[in-house]
């Protein structure tokens, strides 16, 4: 009788663990979409993937210097930044979506070159989301 109760307890424990695991998997943010793609590109240090969302003119701030760049210039600057600062850790700490569809993200990014507080701003333009501001501030 004790063995039967023990066996049932083990099976019940396994069922509970499986149920929690499956419900946790369902809580993950849906994949895809411009915001999620930008997050993934920053996590991977992938300037090419990031450039797909760059606006025609992009405000980039790094090391206390801020300037507006063309899409082509911005991609070169980002490739250079990520080549010198391989992303090691990424933690999205805040995100906001406005009623107009604009989205802002703030993340802590750890790189081989230091730690940064990174913020990025996407807005609707011509029916699609574009990235028009990106900041890497030393922590």
d(CA 139, CA 137): 6
C-alpha distances in Å from residue 40, one per residue of 63, 72, 73: 22, 20, 21
Tens-digit pLDDT profile for residues 46-100? 999 999 999 999 999 998 899 999 999 999 999 999 999 999 999 999 999 998 8
The rounded distance, in Å, linking the Cα atoms of 9 and 58 is 59
Average pLDDT over the chain reads: 86
Question: What predicted TM-score, i.e. pTM, was given to this entire model?
Answer: 0.76
- Whole-number pLDDT of residue 11: 47
**How many residues are given for the chain?**
139
């Amino acid at each position: 009788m004790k063995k039967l109760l023990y066996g049932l307890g083990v099976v019940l424990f396994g069922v509970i663990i499986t149920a929690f695991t499956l419900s946790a998997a369902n809580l993950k943010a849906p994949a895809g979409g411009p915001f999620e793609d930008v997050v993934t590109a920053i996590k991977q240090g992938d300037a090419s993937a990031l450039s797909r969302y760059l606006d025609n003119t992009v405000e980039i701030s790094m090391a206390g210097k801020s300037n507006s760049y063309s899409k082509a210039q911005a991609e070169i600057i980002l490739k250079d930044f990520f080549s010198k600062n391989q992303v090691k850790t990424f933690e999205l700490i805040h995100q906001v979506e406005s009623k107009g569809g604009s989205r802002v993200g703030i993340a802590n990014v750890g790189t081989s070159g230091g730690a940064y507080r990174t913020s990025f701003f996407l807005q609707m333009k011509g029916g699609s989301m574009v990235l028009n501001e990106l900041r890497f501030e030393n922590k």
